[in-house]
Structures are given as C-alpha cells and as structure tokens.
Structure 1
C-alpha cells in the first residue's frame, strides 16, 4: 500500500514567479491539445471528415457534436494536467519551491 503523500505548499513568491511559466505552458498545452484532438478526430470520425463539428453547424446531429466535444474536453483536460504538473515539478527542481497552494 502506498504511503500518503505529503502535501506541498508554495510560498507567495513562488506562486508569483510561477505565473508567467504557467501562462506560457498553458498556451503551449492548448496548441498541443488542439493538434492531438485533430489527429484523433480524423481517425475516429465516420467518413472522410477532417474537422470536428461545431455546435452551430446544422449539418451534424447533436450526438456527433456531443461526442466530439467529449473527446476534445478529455484531451484538453489530460494535456493540461500533464503540462501543469510537469511545469510545477520543473519549477520546483529549479527553485526548490512548489508553486501551488
């Protein structure tokens, strides 16, 4: 059985110093997640569709729009968690402080 992890808290200065790093990593994460989603959707979409349906595109059914949104949300959330966690760990290695609360 795993031992409970010690909660790490960040100092106010570490949180402030991490903000620009977090912002840049979030932007990069969004771009990466968008590219991953496009590739995944191309492979799982029925027919020759290259782009996912948007909620205001009437030629797609509600089910297809919801499935695309579900896939997109799962990919974005996963990529964001990986990038945020990796950025925080790298920041901690460099500064010795955990940037989170």
Structure 2
C-alpha cells in the first residue's frame, strides 16, 4: 500500500478514534473529579462561586487526562493499522 493511500485510509480512522478518545477522556475526568474533589461537577472558568485554585486545578487535571487518553488511543490506532496493513500511518 502506498503512503498516500495509507494516509487516506487512516484519516477517517483517526477522526473516529479522536471522537472516542474525547468521550472516554470526559467520562474518566468526571469520575476522577468526583473521587478527588468529592463534588459532582467540575468548576467552569466562569463559576463565580469557585476559586482560582479549584478552577485551574480542574483545568489542569482535565487537560492531563485528555492528553493521556488521546495519546493512548492514537497509539493503539496506529498499531492496529500497522497490524492490518503492514504499514505505519503517517
């Protein structure tokens, strides 16, 4: 399979995996926030009743979880494509 076709084949797979990663990361973040903060809802940046520390901590945790899940899903997708096609997606 040529590299051009390989990119074309992997593009829709990458989009689907990205959407799935976002959904998984959101669910993981909500559960982690419930366990660590004891509160059901993470603060938004515009929540007037929440302090800077809590808002920034929630944002940092959410970003870290999203990045971790996204990297794991992207890597797993690339490995799966290589197993199916014999080529690593670029």
TM-score bucket of the superposed structures, by smaller chain: over 0.9
Contact 1:25–1:83 (CA<8 Å) still a contact in 2?
yes
Q: Deviations over 1:2-51 (max 9, x none)?
A: xxxxxxxx812111110000000110110000000000000111xx4101
Equivalent residue number for residue 42 of structure 1: 34
- Secondary structure of the structure 2 residue equivalent to 1:59: coil
The RMSD of aligned alpha carbons is 1.1
Q: The residue matched to 1:50 in structure 2 has which SS?
A: coil
Gaps of 5+ in 1: 1-9
Is the radius of gyration larger for structure 1 or structure 2?
A: 1
Residue 21 of structure 2, aligned match among 23, 29, 43? 29
Q: Determine the structure 2 residue equivalent to 1:19.
A: 11
Taking structure 2 as the reference length, the TM-score comes to 0.94
Moved over 4 A (4+): none
User: Counting helix residues as a fraction of each chain, which structure ranks higher?
Assistant: 2
2:61 corresponds to 1:66: no
1:64 offset after TM fit, Å?
0.4
Flag structure 2 segments of 5+ consecutive residues without an equivalent: none
